[in-house]
């Protein structure tokens, strides 16, 4: 009996296998974004404050009953020449009726997610540019970015290919209109 020859792994497969085998320290999170492994430390209290304020408003005021998941791993479409992106947004929102998170694996597909939330931390350029491209490629309808460095909240919408076609930014303290299925003005006065 002859042994079957195995196809050699591609560079993409080796990178993905290595990424999935990572054992990060408690509280740290690892992501595979556009072919680069990114490890970030646990967030500070202000970072979590912004997320908490947004989640409370979305749950209370949205026109559609929303589920929220913090730090949920998403498998997204890949950039050319890279393995599939594995990104962990600070938050994801999906209509509760979908029960999207029930029974989901650690890394789930993004179908059904209507908005991702990111709050800038140690690498703001990754949130402003790299993750924006990832979420647009995956056709996630809305990307809400709280940029602490410039005291601004931005809603990106209308994803097409590697970017969003619409951008609405307001300074901290001003309301930001979230469209359907949310349909309310996000109050950012507590961000000051």
Give, in order, the Cα–Cα distances in Å from 92 to each of 3, 20, 122, 144, 163: 47, 21, 20, 10, 18
**pTM for the whole structure:** 0.92
User: CATH number of 46-191: 3.40.50.10860, 3.40.50.510, 1.10.3720.10, 3.90.1570.10?
Assistant: 3.90.1570.10
pLDDT at residue number 165 = 98
Look at residue 81 in the predicted model and tell me its pLDDT: 82
What are the residues whose beta carbons fall under 8 Å from the beta carbon of 133, sequence distance 6 or more? 34, 79, 162, 163
**Residue 127, Ramachandran bin (φ over 0: left; ψ between -120 and 50: alpha; else beta):** alpha
Length of the chain: 192
**Beta-sheet pairing, 29-33 with 36-40:** antiparallel
User: What's the CA gap between 126 and 134, in Å, rounded?
Assistant: 10
pLDDT at 5: 63
Domain positions in the chain: 46-191
- Contacts with 158 (C-beta within 8 Å, 6 or more apart), sequence order: 164, 165, 166
pLDDT at 6: 75
Q: How much is the pLDDT for 122?
A: 82
**pLDDT tens digit at each of 192 positions of the chain:** 445 567 888 888 889 999 999 999 999 999 999 999 999 999 999 999 999 999 999 999 999 999 999 989 999 988 888 888 999 999 999 999 999 999 999 999 999 999 999 999 888 999 999 999 999 999 999 999 999 999 999 999 999 999 999 999 999 999 999 999 999 999 999 998
User: What pLDDT sits at residue 4?
Assistant: 57
Backbone φ, ψ for residue 110 (5° rounding):
-95, 0
Task: Write down the number of H helices and E strands in the chain.
Answer: 4, 13
3-state secondary structure of 70: coil
8 A C-beta contact, residue 62 and residue 28? no
């Amino acid at each position: 009996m002859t042994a079957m020859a195995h196809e050699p792994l591609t560079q993409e497969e080796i990178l993905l296998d290595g990424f999935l085998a990572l054992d990060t320290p408690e509280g740290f999170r690892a992501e595979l974004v556009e072919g680069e492994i990114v490890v970030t430390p646990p967030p500070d209290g202000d970072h979590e404050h912004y997320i908490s304020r947004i989640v409370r408003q979305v749950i209370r005021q949205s026109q559609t009953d929303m589920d929220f998941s913090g730090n949920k791993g998403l498998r997204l479409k890949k950039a050319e020449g890279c393995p599939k992106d594995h990104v962990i947004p600070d938050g994801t929102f999906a209509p509760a009726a979908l029960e999207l998170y029930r029974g989901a694996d650690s890394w789930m597909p993004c179908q059904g997610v209507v908005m991702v939330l990111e709050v800038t931390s140690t690498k703001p350029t990754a949130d402003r540019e790299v993750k924006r491209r990832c979420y647009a490629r995956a056709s996630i309808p809305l990307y809400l970015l709280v940029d602490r460095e410039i005291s601004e909240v931005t809603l990106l919408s209308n994803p097409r290919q590697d970017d969003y076609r619409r951008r609405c930014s307001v300074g901290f303290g001003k309301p930001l209109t979230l469209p359907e299925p949310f349909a309310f003005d996000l109050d950012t006065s507590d961000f000051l």
